[in-house]
Amino acid sequence: MKSTINKEFFYKPTLQLAKDLLGCHLVHITDDLVLSGRIVETEAYMGPGDRAAHSFQNRRTKRTEIMFHEPGLIYTYQMHTHTLINIVCGEIDSPEAVLIRALEPIEGIEKMMEFRKNQPISNLTNGPGKLTKALNITMSSYGKPSWLPPVYLTEGTKPEHISSGPRIGIDNSGEAKDYPWRFWITGNRFISR
């Protein structure tokens, strides 16, 4: 069992945290089930100045509210038919977040296959909507701490090398679409594309 991350871990610049989350494990534990994966791809959303961020221009609404709170909390939101999971970053009142875009399946792979309608292992968690389905993560995690069960992070194995590039799915975000704020473990086969 990997050791749990403590909340001090989250007090660092968001771009650094986006990289430091690579290699950590995301775990969902319930009474009779452990589902986990190693984070292999993330994206940083930099708040008021980032046109791709929900909190652009400090937009503070019911949905974005949690990003104004302490780092390490879970920000989930619904996108079409999928739930996406982010980790809140930045100091209080600095509404930044890191989106978890892909995992490498670790524990509970058989069960993940059930949740993912018998997809092959290579297609279980290689996208932000897929991984929440595989780990059975829903909107009920909104605002919960990511350093405590049931949905939490643990230390994993550090990546050997990290790559970066433009974020995905934000073509309507002006100049922000080209910022290299997507990070992934170089060569990993579970990245989203």
Partner DNA sequence: ATCATGATAGCCT
Partner DNA sequence: GGCTATCATGATT
Binding-site ranges for DNA (CB under 7 A) = 43, 45, 52-55, 59, 61-64, 77-82, 84, 86, 97, 99, 116, 119, 123, 127-131, 139, 167-170, 172-173, 192
Q: How far is the CB of 148 from DNA (least distance, A)?
A: 23
Considering the complex, state which of residue 67 and residue 106 has its C-beta at the smaller distance from DNA.
Answer: 67
Considering the complex, state which of residue 4 and residue 123 has its C-beta at the smaller distance from DNA.
Answer: 123
Q: How far is the CB of 167 from DNA (least distance, A)?
A: 7
Considering the complex, state which of residue 54 and residue 69 has its C-beta at the smaller distance from DNA.
Answer: 54
Q: How far is the CB of 78 from DNA (least distance, A)?
A: 5
**Number of DSSP helices (H) and strands (E) in the chain, helices first:** 3, 8
Q: How far is the CB of 90 from DNA (least distance, A)?
A: 13
Considering the complex, state which of residue 3 and residue 81 has its C-beta at the smaller distance from DNA.
Answer: 81
Integer Cα distance of 9 and 6 in angstroms: 6
Task: Evaluate whether 129 touches 84 at the Cβ level (below 8 Å).
Answer: yes
Q: How far is the CB of 3 from DNA (least distance, A)?
A: 28
Tokens read off for 38: 């190693």
Kindly report each contact of residues 162-169 with a partner whose C-beta sits within 8 Å and lies 24 or more positions away, as own/partner.
162/19, 162/22, 162/186, 167/43, 167/52, 168/43, 168/101, 168/192, 168/193
Both ends of the chain: CA-CA distance in Å?
A: 30
CA dihedral 71, 153, 155, 100 (to 10 degrees): -80
Q: Give the three-class secondary structure for 185.
A: strand
Considering the complex, state which of residue 127 and residue 159 has its C-beta at the smaller distance from DNA.
Answer: 127
Considering the complex, state which of residue 185 and residue 191 has its C-beta at the smaller distance from DNA.
Answer: 191
Q: How far is the CB of 124 from DNA (least distance, A)?
A: 9
